[in-house]
Amino acid sequence: MITYPILTEIYCNVTSMELNDANLQTLTEFLRKTLDPDPTVRRPAEKFLESVEGNQNYPLFLLTLLEKCQDNVIRVCAAVTFKNYIKRNWRIVEDEPNKVSDPDRTAIKANIINLMLSSPEQIQKQLSDAISIIGREDFPQKWPDLLTEMVTRFRSGDFHIINGVLRTAHSLFKRYRHEFKSNELWSEIKLVLDTFALPLTELFKATIELCQTHATDVNALKVLFSSLTLISKLFYSLNFQDLPEFFEDNMETWMTNFHGLLTLDNKLLQTDDEEEAGLLELLKSQICDNAALYAQKYDEEFQPYLPRFVTAIWNLLVSTGQEVKYDLLVSNAIQFLASVCERPHYKHLFEDQNTLTSICEKVIVPNMEFRSADEEAFEDNSEEYIRRDLEGSDIDTRRRAACDLVRGLCKFFEGPVTAIFSGYVNSMLGEYAKNPGENWKHKDAAIYLVTSLASKAQTQKHGITQANELVNLNEFFVNHILSDLKSPNVNEFPVLKADAIKYVMIFRSQLPKEQLLQAVPLLISHLQAESTVEHTYAAHALERLFTMRGSSNTTLITPAEMAPFTEQLLNNLFKALALPGSAENEYIMKAIMRSFSLLQEAIVPYIPTLIGQLTHKLLLVSKNPSKPHFNHYLFESLCLSVRITCKSNPTTVSSFEEALFPVFTEILQNDVQEFLPYVFQVMSLLLEIHSNSIPSSYMALFPHLLQPVLWERTGNIPPLVRLLQAYLQKGGVSIASSAADKIPGLLGVFQKLIASKANDHQGFYLLNSIVEHMPPESITQYRKQIFILLFQRLQSSKTTKFIKSFLVFINLYCVKYGAIALQEIFDSIQPKMFGMVLEKIIIPEVQKVSGPVEKKICAVGITKVLTECPAMMDTEYTKLWTPLLQALIGLFELPEDDSIPDDEHFIDIEDAPGYQTAFSQLAFAGKKEHDPIGDAVGNPKILLAQSLHKLSTACPGRVPSMLSTSLNAEALQFLQGYLQAATVQLV
């Protein structure tokens, strides 16, 4: 058997590194270099470590260093490197080599817990994360003694060790908070509870007693309170999926102590720091979360405890200051009230008008104020401010929690709550009107209040989708928002400007179109604002408005309506990228992409200038890619420039290549991994635009695309396959003549892909293009080997996905080379093989083929087998003729069979193992579906009728008699319909 050169396995023989001082010294030096700020020193060191991490003992070297090295910096570096190594390599992926040798796995699991518990905290945290990554894969089946080994350490009495165990347990169990329910998960949680719940409860009680014993010892209290916080986090994780019997039986212990800790105020634990939350705040925040969990999910069992928690949390809210360090505590406390007030059970607690007024006045309004800390973030930490305010990662901000509480209260008390707040809004706006310069924060709070009152339901795509009818959004827009947008000085009151822009953005589905059109030019001028938040919001608002759909499924705002502003829009967007702090602003780049997509041909006159700016930006970010979203939208914008310009004038493709190729070359030479999948997609797009020939610049690159190292990275596979398909489509003939020596390499890629369950469909895409576009004689010598490889894979693991792709391939082969060639190649591998394939694969499985083009290929292929293969008419294969025809009529008429065998372990193609640059599909580099049969066959049913007619005239009487004896009546009826439609008959 021949094997193709590409398939020399990279990791095949893991070479072992001797555990000796010389090697330790070498590793230390390289680790030190990875910390060097100079990329010419750092990059080679990183590459070296990458090259040796497949060797046996490598992880043990790292563990030795982090335990014994004298230099603390190296110890921490070794710990981080070890954690990342585990993150990348521990998971065993089917079809892929095991990247950590078995002896290393055993040694790591045997030593890591002791090592973690005896290390200083900085290293302990890294190892604790590593344990949870290993635990995620191996616990409980492959690491059954992990928990018992951890629980026994509770008895040590040493809280450095105990906290190490708690921290590890927390990182191991916190996934229970977001895993989907399954029997496997339940049995794992049950095992954890059986081993862990009682010791955790005993530890909880003992720690609380120790807090009383050491009430005056501040250092002891710090350690004990960090233990209590971890214990409370574990309580949350273990109770999240369902209420465990153990915790229900011990609810009195837990809830009484939680309540006691909530009301505790130990002066020793109060901190002077106004920013950083202290241990007391962190513990109380977690207890508020735990109480909210029980109030929401287990309200019946929790009912006896609820009133005292409501009282304690209310007192906490009224007595806690405005400092930043209390933000998490206050927001969790408000979230507790929000989750309680939404439950019909507890409605009575909030019915009284005085209670509502008191909540509005004492909790909601104060926590909606724009504090000086918010102002600082707005000015100096705009990225974090935007993340919290726009992207909803402000879960732990006071404003978001107060907003949620307003929504919760409106569920049952919309009228009274709206009335109370309307008063507040009017008085705040009144204060602002008296002295805008001094009182602008009053207007900010008023806008926020109106927003939280008005919004009932919200989606990322449409903004607010359901609004409170008691709030007149239009009137508020005209009276209070428009004035800020129209103000000629875009840099005055940036916070209010940002509020006004955000108002347009979130209520875009509620405001009439004329108001949105009025806002567009105003938003365009705000792109020039100095404030990062303000110009970012303007870009984001425009991008969202451009995606709104009108009545006839086109965009709400049309290119014609944008015509007067096109030039200013493009100018201001590109200028905004030059503003300080926005060089890689993903919102601006997304707005550029969306503007191109909306404006289409209208951008063509500007492209010659803009493409230079985009490629220059690409060159800069490729030096150190750090903003994945920005980079993605940058490549999307490049694709749009190419598609829109070349659509009207395909010859301009060469000017794009001139602009892009120098940058692409640099990216390929420097192996900028994050960008390679994008570069391959853009190159495919460019190559697909060429008429049928491959320019020499592409041919020079062709051999490099077959390098094994490129195919090792999962993210490269889909775009590289597409690029190779473009090469084959445009230049199959020139590859056969000028690069014939590369054909084995091409087939080697196919062989590698076909062996993987995750990527076998990509292997078939490549193979189908080879069959369709390469001259037949250029692959004659390889054909038999290709089929043998496919059969080997069928025997070793037959998945539905593989069968579907296999069926499409053999039918395409039949369409391309003829039915006789198909029958002969099967029978040359093994006598009567053709019959077996028909009987065992094609006839029973063809119903599973999905997709119009795939079904068409199978229909035409099977028609050829039925009507152009003499062996089907006069050998032992004849008995399969009618069942095959029946299967074909079934493919035409029956619903698709999408059943999957119960035991089949389906691989999620998206689930890339470990940490790799995943493949990101560029929407605007999209490839049109290709139909290899094209217009040659319009309707396969008519083709079947015509082909059967032709066959019956060649051997009169045979076809009707075969049909009448064994084709079922329903199928026969369908066939008569095809014959009538084709106006032919059988003889």
Distances (CA, A) of 246 to 287, 484, 934: 19, 58, 66
Residue 766 in 3-state DSSP? helix
Q: How far is CA 206 from the centre of its chain?
A: 43
Rounded distance, CA 684 to CA 723, Å? Answer: 5
pLDDT tens digits, residue range 609-652?
999 999 999 999 999 999 999 999 999 999 999 999 999 899 99
pLDDT for the residue numbered 929: 83
Confirm if 602 and 616 have CB atoms less than 8 A apart: no
Element (H, E) at 459: strand 455-459
Return all residues near 483 (Cβ < 8 A) that are at least 6 apart: none
In a domain, 316, yes or no: yes
Distances (CA, A) of 13 to 6, 54, 100, 846, 863: 16, 9, 12, 41, 49
In a domain, 327, yes or no: yes
**Tokens of residue 556, six digits:** 């709400």
pLDDT for the residue numbered 461: 59
Confirm if 35 and 73 have CB atoms less than 8 A apart: yes
Query: Peptide bond before 140: cis, by omega within 30 degrees of 0?
Result: yes
Rounded distance, CA 657 to CA 661, Å? Answer: 5
**Tokens of residue 527, six digits:** 């792109």
Q: How far is CA 362 from the centre of its chain?
A: 41
Structural domain harbouring 302: 243-265+275-343
Confirm if 586 and 630 have CB atoms less than 8 A apart: yes
Residue 555 in 3-state DSSP? strand
Return all residues near 813 (Cβ < 8 A) that are at least 6 apart: 771, 821, 822, 861
Tally the C-alpha atoms within 13 A of residue 151's C-alpha that lie toward its C-beta: 16
CA angle 725–687–807, rounded 5-degree value:
20
pLDDT for the residue numbered 919: 66
pLDDT for the residue numbered 3: 34
**Tokens of residue 113, six digits:** 């817990």
Rounded distance, CA 395 to CA 331, Å? Answer: 8
pLDDT for the residue numbered 915: 29
In the numeric block, the tokens 């949350």 are attached to: 236
Rounded distance, CA 941 to CA 892, Å? Answer: 8
Return all residues near 531 (Cβ < 8 A) that are at least 6 apart: 378, 379, 382, 491, 494, 497, 498
In a domain, 259, yes or no: yes
Confirm if 85 and 53 have CB atoms less than 8 A apart: yes
Rounded distance, CA 328 to CA 320, Å? Answer: 12
Rounded distance, CA 876 to CA 82, Å? Answer: 63
Confirm if 151 and 157 have CB atoms less than 8 A apart: no
In a domain, 292, yes or no: yes
- Counting every residue written for the chain, the total comes to 987
Tally the C-alpha atoms within 13 A of residue 653's C-alpha that lie toward its C-beta: 17
3-state helix, strand, coil in the chain (%, to 5): 75, 0, 25
pLDDT tens digits, residue range 224-263?
999 999 999 999 999 999 999 999 999 999 999 999 999 9
Cβ atoms within 10 A of the Cβ of 459, count? 10
DSSP state of 933: S
Say which amino acid occupies 538: A
pLDDT for the residue numbered 342: 87
Residue 149 in 3-state DSSP? helix
Confirm if 83 and 126 have CB atoms less than 8 A apart: yes
In a domain, 373, yes or no: no
Among 862, 759, 852, 861, smallest CA distance to 812 is for: 861
Among 738, 663, 755, 739, smallest CA distance to 705 is for: 739
pLDDT tens digits, residue range 650-670?
999 999 999 999 999 999 999
Q: Which residues pair with 56 in a beta bridge?
A: 16
pLDDT for the residue numbered 443: 96
Among 114, 112, 121, smallest CA distance to 83 is for: 112
* Overall pTM surpassing 0.85 (yes/no): no
In the numeric block, the tokens 């999620």 are attached to: 908
Return all residues near 835 (Cβ < 8 A) that are at least 6 apart: 876, 877, 880
Confirm if 837 and 796 have CB atoms less than 8 A apart: no
In the numeric block, the tokens 């990348």 are attached to: 88
**Tokens of residue 918, six digits:** 């995943």
Encode 642-701 in three state secondary structure. HHHHHHHCHHHHHHHHHHHHHHHHHHHHCCCCCCHHHHHHHHHHHHHHCCCCCCHHHHHH
Rounded distance, CA 757 to CA 759, Å? Answer: 6
In a domain, 325, yes or no: yes
> Could you state, in chain order, the average pLDDT of each consecutive group of 10 residues for the chain (987 residues)?
30 56 91 91 90 92 92 95 95 83 94 92 93 92 92 90 94 92 92 96 96 92 96 98 96 97 85 84 96 93 94 91 91 93 87 90 92 92 89 73 89 89 92 95 94 72 64 91 96 97 94 96 98 98 94 89 97 97 96 96 96 97 94 96 94 95 94 94 96 87 92 93 96 91 95 93 96 95 96 91 96 97 96 96 95 95 97 91 96 80 37 43 85 90 96 92 88 95 93
In a domain, 448, yes or no: no
Among 762, 849, 853, 862, smallest CA distance to 810 is for: 862
What is the tally of structural domains in the chain?
1
Q: How far is CA 236 from the centre of its chain?
A: 26
Tally the C-alpha atoms within 13 A of residue 799's C-alpha that lie toward its C-beta: 17
In a domain, 326, yes or no: yes
Among 794, 834, 832, smallest CA distance to 814 is for: 834
Q: Which residues pair with 458 in a beta bridge?
A: 464
**Tokens of residue 212, six digits:** 């009383």
Cβ atoms within 10 A of the Cβ of 121, count? 11
